[in-house]
């Protein structure tokens, strides 16, 4: 059984492609849900979206990093390469605004 974890493995199109360098941005739906779900500690929801930033080489898509973007201001809140590091940053941001 093949695991299809990334959006491009499930035939989803990028949210945006940078016209200058071809870097593709895909919404990381599951990690974005982590920003918005209720938390056991009562922390406020984080109004942000997580993106996979990826580079296409030939027929392969190579994930480079995850970027957390504020929905209202479009400011970059965090950049991480691992899921665990991004989840930790999200939790720390949620805790700080609560």
> What pLDDT does 86 receive?
98
Contacts of 78 (CB under 8 A, 6+ apart): 67, 68, 86, 89, 90, 93
Confidence of residue 63 (pLDDT cuts 50, 70, 90): very high
For the chain, domain boundaries = 24-97
3-state class (DSSP) for residue 90: helix
pTM of the model: 0.92
**Structural contact between residues 78 and 98, judged by C-beta atoms closer than 8 angstroms:** no
**Which residue(s) pair with 57 in the sheet?**
60
For the ranges 2-6, 15-19, 30-34, 43-47, the lowest mean pLDDT is seen at: 2-6
pLDDT at residue 59, rounded to an integer: 87
């Amino acid at each position: 059984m093949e695991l299809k974890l990334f959006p491009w493995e499930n035939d989803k199109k990028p949210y945006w492609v940078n016209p200058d360098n071809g870097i593709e941005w895909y919404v990381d739906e599951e990690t974005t849900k982590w920003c918005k779900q209720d938390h056991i500690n009562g922390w406020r929801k984080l109004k942000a979206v997580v993106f996979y930033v990826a580079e296409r080489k030939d027929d392969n898509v190579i994930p480079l990093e995850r970027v957390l973007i504020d929905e209202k201001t479009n400011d970059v809140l965090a950049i991480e390469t691992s899921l665990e590091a991004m989840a930790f940053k999200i939790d720390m941001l949620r805790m700080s605004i609560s």
